[in-house]
Amino acid sequence: MTFHGISPDIRAALERVLGQSGVAADPTSMAKYLADWSGDHHGSALAVLKPASVAEVQAAVRLCGTLGLAMIPQGGNTGLVAGAIDIGTTPGAVVISLERLNRIRSVDADNFTLQADAGCILQHIKDVADDQDCLFPLALGAQGSCQIGGNAASNAGGVNVLRYGMARDLIVGLEVVLPDGDLWSGFSGLRKDNRGYDLKQLFIGAEGTLGIITGVEVKLSPKPGQIETAYLGLPSFESAIALFRQARRGCSDLISAFEIIGSECMELARLADPTIVAPVDAPVHVLIELSSSAAVELRSLLVDFLAGVMERHLVADAVLAESGAQAKAFWAIREGLVEGQARRGYHVRTDLSVRISDIPTLIAQARGFVALEHPGWISQAYGHAGDGNIHFNVLPPLDLAEADARARGVAITARLYDIVTALGGSVSAEHGIGRTRQRVYWTGMSPVHRRLVSTLKNAIDPAGLMNPGCLFPVTETCS
Ligand X SMILES: Cc1cc2nc3c(=O)[nH]c(=O)nc-3n(C[C@H](O)[C@H](O)[C@H](O)COP(=O)(O)OP(=O)(O)OC[C@H]3O[C@@H](n4cnc5c(N)ncnc54)[C@H](O)[C@@H]3O)c2cc1C
Residues that bind ligand X (CB under 6 A): 37, 72-80, 83-84, 98, 118, 140-142, 146-147, 149-151, 153-154, 156-158, 207-208, 212-213, 338, 430-431, 434, 467, 470
Give the integer Cα–Cα distance in Å for 472 and 465.
11
Please report how many Cα atoms fall inside a 13 Å half-sphere around the Cα of residue 355, on the Cβ side.
5
Instruction: Name which of 117 and 228 has its Cβ closer to ligand X.
Output: 117
Contact 472, 209 (CB under 8 A): yes
Cα 135–chain centre separation: 19
β-bridge partners, 320 = 230
Give, for 105, the enclosing helix (H) or strand (E).
strand 104-108
Q: How far is the CB of 403 from ligand X (least distance, A)?
A: 24
Helix boundaries (H) for 45-184: 54-67, 122-131, 148-153, 161-164, 167-170
Contact 349, 38 (CB under 8 A): yes
Instruction: Name which of 168 and 450 has its Cβ closer to ligand X.
Output: 168
Q: How far is the CB of 171 from ligand X (least distance, A)?
A: 12
Cα 442–chain centre separation: 20
Q: How far is the CB of 395 from ligand X (least distance, A)?
A: 16
Give the integer Cα–Cα distance in Å for 192 and 311.
45
Instruction: Name which of 156 and 465 has its Cβ closer to ligand X.
Output: 156
Instruction: Name which of 81 and 314 has its Cβ closer to ligand X.
Output: 81
Instruction: Name which of 118 and 329 has its Cβ closer to ligand X.
Output: 118
Instruction: Name which of 272 and 320 has its Cβ closer to ligand X.
Output: 272
Q: How far is the CB of 250 from ligand X (least distance, A)?
A: 25
Longest dimension (CA), the chain: 75
Instruction: Name which of 312 and 343 has its Cβ closer to ligand X.
Output: 343
Radius of gyration of the chain (CA): 23
Q: Please report the DSSP string for 197-256 in residue order.
A: --THHHHTTSTTSS-EEEEEEEE-EEPPSEEEEEEEEES-HHHHHHHHHHHHHHTTT-EE
Contact 177, 54 (CB under 8 A): yes
Q: What's 423's DSSP letter?
A: T
Instruction: Name which of 51 and 242 has its Cβ closer to ligand X.
Output: 51
Torsional sign, CA 305, 306, 310, 311? negative
Instruction: Name which of 78 and 379 has its Cβ closer to ligand X.
Output: 78
Burial class (CB in 10 A: 0-12, 13-18, 19+), 300: exposed
Give the integer Cα–Cα distance in Å for 63 and 16.
10
Q: How far is the CB of 471 from ligand X (least distance, A)?
A: 8
Would you tell me how many other CB atoms lie within 10 Å of the CB of residue 114? 26
Q: How far is the CB of 427 from ligand X (least distance, A)?
A: 14
Q: How far is the CB of 217 from ligand X (least distance, A)?
A: 14
Give, for 303, the enclosing helix (H) or strand (E).
helix 298-311
Q: How far is the CB of 244 from ligand X (least distance, A)?
A: 18
Q: How far is the CB of 286 from ligand X (least distance, A)?
A: 17
Residue whose Cβ sits closest to ligand X: 150
Q: In b/e form, how buried is each residue of 364-402, taking b as 16+ CB within 10 angstroms?
A: ebbbebbeeebeebbbbbbbbbbbbbbbbbbbbeeeeee
Q: How far is the CB of 375 from ligand X (least distance, A)?
A: 29
Q: How far is the CB of 48 from ligand X (least distance, A)?
A: 12
Q: How far is the CB of 389 from ligand X (least distance, A)?
A: 8
Helix boundaries (H) for 345-430: 359-373, 402-422
Dihedral in degrees, nearest 10, Cα atoms 314, 317, 323, 328:
-80
Instruction: Name which of 37 and 369 has its Cβ closer to ligand X.
Output: 37
Instruction: Name which of 150 and 425 has its Cβ closer to ligand X.
Output: 150
Instruction: Name which of 78 and 291 has its Cβ closer to ligand X.
Output: 78
